[in-house]
Structure 1
Amino acid sequence: MSYAIVCSDLSFAWADGTVVLDGLDAAFGPRRTGLIGVNGSGKSTLLKIIAGELRPGSGTVSVEGEIGHLPQNLVLDGAATVSDLLGISGTRAALHAIERGEATEENFTAVGDGWDVEERARAELDRLGLDHLGLDRTVPTLSGGEAVMVALAAQFLARPDVLLLDEPTNNLDLDARHRLYDAVASWTGVLVVVSHDRELLDRVDEIADLRDGAIRSFGGGLSAYEELLAVEREAAQRTVRAAETDLRRQKRELEEAHVKLARRKRYGNKMYEQKREPKIVMGARKRQAQESAGKHRIMHEERLADARTRLTDAEEAVRDDAEIRIALPATRVPAGRTVATVTGLAAPEPEPATLTELIVRGPERIALTGPNGSGKTTLLRALTGDRVPDGVVVKIGVSGVRYLPQRLDVLDEDLSVLDNVRAAAPSAPVNDIRAGLARFLFRGARAERPAGTLSGGERFRAVLASLLLAEPAPQLLMLDEPTNNLDMASAAQLAQALAAYEGALIVVSHDVPFLRTLGITRRLRMDRTTGLTEVEAT
């Protein structure tokens, strides 16, 4: 198979010396590849190196053809327009100038073959559900999801030979996600997509798993890959069980050997004391017994050490991501208790089912869905008391309210994980906080690490700990697209933590598999025109 991307012996480290990649070899061919791995494993860094945005410390990258790259975090000019994001403003300006009669060589050169650029741009926007956007609309008026989709439209419009997508489904509503799935399914060039979106990863041709500094590739989508992993894990667990049995046997044999040697020593000493044989003979036998005992002991100790090594190797082969295990009884809200009331909700074109009042009762688990830009985040911020819209009244009936925004920027970068949680729970004993952090996988010195040095998965767990261990305990918890930028292990850890949460929960998410794990009891939908409505829970 010919490869369009070949990475040889790649190494990369940040300025502070943190090693991200070390001697990595990778190759991607003319197919759709889903690149997965835990947060901090180097997926985004690898895409940036391939795109030429970062220079590796050593190694080489060879790419055939033009590269298109959609980064995880878009940096947008506040004065830019949709046309600018699509990369067609220069061509449009020259085209409009020619239409006004300015038929200069410069304008014709700028237009090139792009006489239908506006029609093609509109067709691409329409395909991605952005038919309501004008080409001259400015970036600040777009929602986060709309900005991502416009950036995607730009890539599909340019049709590069190699397309690199980094978490493209972040901030996208369900309709936009399905449009993206269709666009990816129709892509015929080289595509490498970093994602945690299970449905997207089931539509690729192969999975490339970046783990422990190396990439393993497997044909098929994520489900097929996970089935293979389950078989590997079961085989590895059988090896662990066999190694444990062998270790127990070696320990038992070593103990038995010690008992036998002790008996021989006592018998030899008795014979020596009774002087039943000549002294020279008894001395020789004693030396021989000591040498034999030493060799016997060394043999069994070596076997025991080998058994321990085999067990360690077997345990390392079992791919089992650490789990969060916590209990949060202080978050409990009695059934039926009113947690929050929002009145004065209005919509431009309300329907009979439109809600003008929202009542949240404990311990409800509410999924809030709807198109990008429909006001979901605005509603959550209103519930926190921040940016309450005119005419809206919010009443909170519990003592603890916590909000996790889309960006995990709620930690003090200069403080340790421990001190960040202490700031959220100032009266809690330090030992209690340490015990709580241990259940979020921050044990010992890991709790002392500054927040600014954490990987993405570690940062997520630290933010989660600061929310759930806070004082007063949060009895209303609101999460805004919590699985954005989370690897699948971290998303599973979030679900584990929320399984212990006993308060009222409101989650804005379009991650359907994740919502299924939460035991959602109520679904609300926010729409730009019809406002807030209740939909049937599934």
Structure 2
Amino acid sequence: MFMDREKERAEASAGREGHLAERLIGDRADAFEEARARVEIITPLSIELPKTALPASRELITFNGVAMAVASRPLFGPLSFELRGPARVAIGGANGAGKSTLLRLITGKAQPTGGTIHRHTDRIAMLDQHVGLLDPGTSILDNLRRLNPELSTNEAHAALARFAFRNRVALQIVDTLSGGERLRAGLACVFARPEPPLLLLMDEPTNHLDLTAIEELESALRDFDGALVVVSHDAAFLRAIGIEREIAF
């Protein structure tokens, strides 16, 4: 009987030690994940946008005599131009001239008061200066799933990991992100699609970014093989991303 009790005590003690070891291992794993998440946030990033294989001859957008008015007040026009292949175009003009409205016309979110617009592709994405496509009250992961409902949870995590939102970092609430992180989250959401955008529109993308984030964005856009249309007052940024021509009004 004495030996049986000693054996039970030994087994119980071993069990407690085993549970303690598992708990310690779990705590250390959690601490490691949190530390790694912090490192990922502060480590300089290299954003690589997916390749589009956009042919140089591919028509994207055609404006024919497009005019725009707001409350019967002429805004701009008539305006005629076309976008073809991996074009790099800046939209210039004074504040209030209608630059942001022109981007909305390209996407189809606004309709012209005159002229015609032909969109030869629906693979168009737009990011405004506030990255308004993101819901600020939900997580990065939830936003990506909402905007790309065809993706599984694993596919969504993989898409975010390509933009350095790995593991628990993907669960951050958008409203807590810095300007650079928010823009990166927006890029992750639009480039998570099975077919990446052929045309990327950006409205004052550097307004809320620090120098490091601007350099990261410049590097990503220089390597992007799709078409770019950018509204920006940052002349150095426009030069850095290889803008070829300007549409000004």
TM-score (norm 2): 0.73
Give the letter for the 2:56 counterpart: A
Give the letter for the 1:336 counterpart: S
Distance 1:469 1:500, change over 3 A: farther
Question: Is the 1:421–1:470 Cα contact (8 Å) retained in structure 2?
Answer: no
2: distance between equivalents of 1:362 and 1:424? 26
2: distance between equivalents of 1:361 and 1:395? 12
Shift of 1:502: 1.8
2: distance between equivalents of 1:500 and 1:431? 27
2: distance between equivalents of 1:342 and 1:471? 28
* DSSP 3-state at the match of 2:175: helix
Match of 1:493? 216
Question: Is the 1:414–1:452 Cα contact (8 Å) retained in structure 2?
Answer: yes
Question: Is the 1:321–1:489 Cα contact (8 Å) retained in structure 2?
Answer: no
Match of 1:325? 47
Match of 1:189? none
Give the letter for the 1:476 counterpart: L
1:398 to 114, 117, 121: 121
Give the letter for the 1:328 counterpart: P
1:445 to 168, 172, 177: 168
* DSSP 3-state at the match of 1:344: strand
Give the letter for the 2:47 counterpart: R
Shift of 1:496: 2.4
Question: Is the 1:322–1:441 Cα contact (8 Å) retained in structure 2?
Answer: no
1: distance between equivalents of 2:104 and 2:174? 25
* DSSP 3-state at the match of 2:83: strand
Question: Is the 2:66–2:117 Cα contact (8 Å) retained in structure 1?
Answer: no
Distance 1:524 1:356, change over 3 A: closer
TM-score (norm 1): 0.35
Identity %: 41
* DSSP 3-state at the match of 1:463: helix
Render the CA deviation track for 1:276-313: whole Å, top value 9, x for unaligned. Answer: xxxxxxxxxxxxxxxxxxxxxxxxxxxxxxxxxxxxxx
1:388 aligns with 2:111: yes
Question: Is the 1:475–1:503 Cα contact (8 Å) retained in structure 2?
Answer: yes
Match of 1:454? 177
Shift of 1:445: 0.5
Match of 1:96? none
1: distance between equivalents of 2:49 and 2:234? 25
Shift of 1:321: 5.1
2: distance between equivalents of 1:321 and 1:512? 27
1: distance between equivalents of 2:178 and 2:67? 41
Match of 1:376? 99
1:471-510 alignment to 2 at 5 Å?
471-510=194-233
Question: Is the 2:78–2:115 Cα contact (8 Å) retained in structure 1?
Answer: no
Give the letter for the 1:469 counterpart: A
Shift of 1:514: 0.7
1:334 to 34, 38, 55: 55
2: distance between equivalents of 1:502 and 1:434? 24
1:366 to 89, 101, 121: 89
For structure 2, the 5+ residue unaligned runs are 1-38, 69-73
Q: CA RMSD, aligned part only?
A: 2.4
Question: Is the 1:401–1:476 Cα contact (8 Å) retained in structure 2?
Answer: yes
How many residues are matched? Answer: 203
Question: Which is higher, the Rg of structure 1 or of structure 2?
Answer: 1
2: distance between equivalents of 1:405 and 1:321? 25
Shift of 1:376: 1.0
1:167-182 alignment to 2 at 5 Å?
none
Higher relative contact order, structure no. (Cα contacts within 8 Å, ≥ 6 residues apart): 2
* DSSP 3-state at the match of 1:394: strand
Question: Is the 2:49–2:191 Cα contact (8 Å) retained in structure 1?
Answer: no
* DSSP 3-state at the match of 1:460: helix
1:434 aligns with 2:157: yes
For structure 1, the 5+ residue unaligned runs are 1-315, 527-538
